Amino acid sequence: MTPVDQMLGWPAFELSAALDAGAITSLDLTRAYLARIQGLNPRLNAYLCVLPEMALQAAENAALRASQGRRLGPLDGMPIAVKDNIDVKGVPTTAGMDCRRSPPAGEDAQAVRLLRASGAVILGKTNMDEAAMGGTSDNPFFGRTHHPLKHGYTPGGSSGGSAAAVAANLCAAALGTDTLGSLRIPASYCGVAALKPTFGLVSTRGVCPLCHRLDHVGPIARAIEDLQLILDVIGRYDPACPDARAAPADLERPQIKPLAACTIGTLRNLEEVAAEPAVRAAYAAALGVLASLGCRVQSVDLQDYDPAAARRSGLLCGEADAANTHAAFLGESPPSLSREVRALISYGRDVSGARLARAHRHLDLIAFEFRALLRSVDVVVTATTPQAAFPFDQPVPGTQGDMTALANISGCPALTIPMGTDPAGLPLGLQFIGRAHAEATLFAIAGAFLKAAGTKHPLPDT
């Protein structure tokens, strides 16, 4: 094992310091990740497509800049993976769909463009649920991504390839997308951190859409500092993105309060979701840590909020949008969509207008009520998922997205960090949801929590 090999599990911000110091070059780092991918990916299947030429060329450029003392910033030379529903120029964006194996994307997605402009190295494209419709990364065409700690277990989804790649140290960080929890669920299962930013803060231009009002792009990483570094680069109002509803003036981030002045809400409605005992215990312990930090922890209630009903409304809006996005594939014979995804999308296509209008209004009202609730507390804390990762041969729990959907529906930012493990050693996640554009508050609270709790992501068996 070379010194670089021992660094592959470092957080990106520490890798950046090593690049700054000249201890390693981006070329060393990129080669080492590529070698590790070559060794582990056949069994893990986190990457659908590795881009060694493109990556090595970018790494060489970054190494040259570093050698001349002109690194572009902390992400210069940083090897990053990209979920396969986000365009990388010259490579097909499959979105996990058989029917999208070609053509190659003509342009980078805006988030990828910004990453590259900051010097990041794109290592490859990661596996996901077909059409991002699922939470297991058990893809009927591209195979399963396995959990890095336990083969045969799901890493979660739909950004499961990205989360597994980060957890298995196959990249420094990754991009994923999140419509009802697709960044946070796999990050929680895999023991890493992820941020779903405020709606509109990160451009969705160049991303294969699932549900226009709920889709978000965000980072997955081993440390919250890394999430912040990536957000600093990709969190730019994009005047050419129709989903960016906020005007530039809205993007001023609220000031951070001292931790002791923060009120943290626990949401009764989500505490009532059936969760595994280990999740309940870890969550209770986490609340204790938060209280020990001087935060006021207070139970709040979102009147009439039913997580399962909310999730179903969100799913329905996504199914109807998907019926238009994938219209060309719906009628194909022989079908190229899986039976399951075809059934979901056909349902959205054929559902009555009144039912769909009801679902949209349902989401509007939830967003309204939740944003109102966030005037009384600074942050809401929940478990990220009600369960740890589970074997592929077990039925998928319907509650997977019950904790996460609220942040998509409301557009509020949500951060997941590791919250220890269950008795089997499988990671659990803790979620903080904040006010629009209050990402900095989430980072501050989560940072203090991690310092106090000492929770880290469990290292995979290599």
Could you tell me if 82 and 47 are in contact, meaning their C-beta atoms sit under 8 angstroms apart?
no
Helix (H, G, I), strand (E, B) or coil at 428: strand
Does 250 bind a copy of itself (CB under 8 A)? Our answer is yes
358 lines the binding site for a copy of itself (CB under 8 A): yes
The residue among 351 and 448 lying less far from a copy of itself, judged by its C-beta, is: 351
| Residues 195 to 214 in contact with a copy of itself, rule: CB under 8 A | 212
Q: How many CB atoms lie within 10 A of CB 391?
A: 11
Pull the structure tokens for residue 450. Answer: 């991690």
CA dihedral 332, 319, 180, 86 (to 10 degrees): 40
- Annotated active-site residue 188? The verdict is no
* 332 near a copy of itself, judged by CB under 8 A: no
Q: Which residue stretch of 142-150, 169-177, 229-237, 343-351 sits at the interface with a copy of itself (rule: CB under 8 A)?
A: 343-351
Q: Does 364 bind a copy of itself (CB under 8 A)?
A: yes
Q: Is 151 in the site for a copy of itself (CB under 8 A)?
A: no
How far, in Å, CA of 304 to CA of 205, rounded?
A: 35
Output the CA angle 23-230-197, nearest 5 degrees: 160
Out of 247, 274, 343, 424, the only residue in the binding site for a copy of itself (CB under 8 A) is: 247
Half-sphere exposure of 211 (CA within 13 A, CB side): 30
Binding mask 224-243 for a copy of itself (x = CB under 8 A): ---------------x--x-
Q: Please answer whether residues 412 and 366 qualify as being in contact, where contact means their C-beta atoms are separated by less than 8 angstroms.
A: no
Length of the chain: 462
Q: Tokens 């990556």 belong to which residue?
A: 55
Rule CB under 8 A: choose which of 72, 251, 285, 356 binds a copy of itself. Answer: 356
| Catalytic annotation, pick one of 26, 83, 118, 203 | 83
Among 117, 309, 327, 459, binds a copy of itself (CB under 8 A): 327
CB distance 262 to 295 below 8 Å: yes
Q: Which is nearer to a copy of itself, 27 or 345 (CB)?
A: 345
Would you give the end-to-end CA distance of the chain in angstroms? 12
355 forms part of the interface with a copy of itself (CB under 8 A): yes
Q: How far is the CB of 36 from a copy of itself (least distance, A)?
A: 42
Nearest CA among 376, 378, 392, 344 for reference residue 446:
378
Q: Please give the residue ranges that form the binding site for a copy of itself (CB under 8 A).
A: 212, 239, 242, 247, 249-250, 316-317, 319-321, 323-324, 327, 347-358, 360-361, 364-365, 368, 372, 375, 436
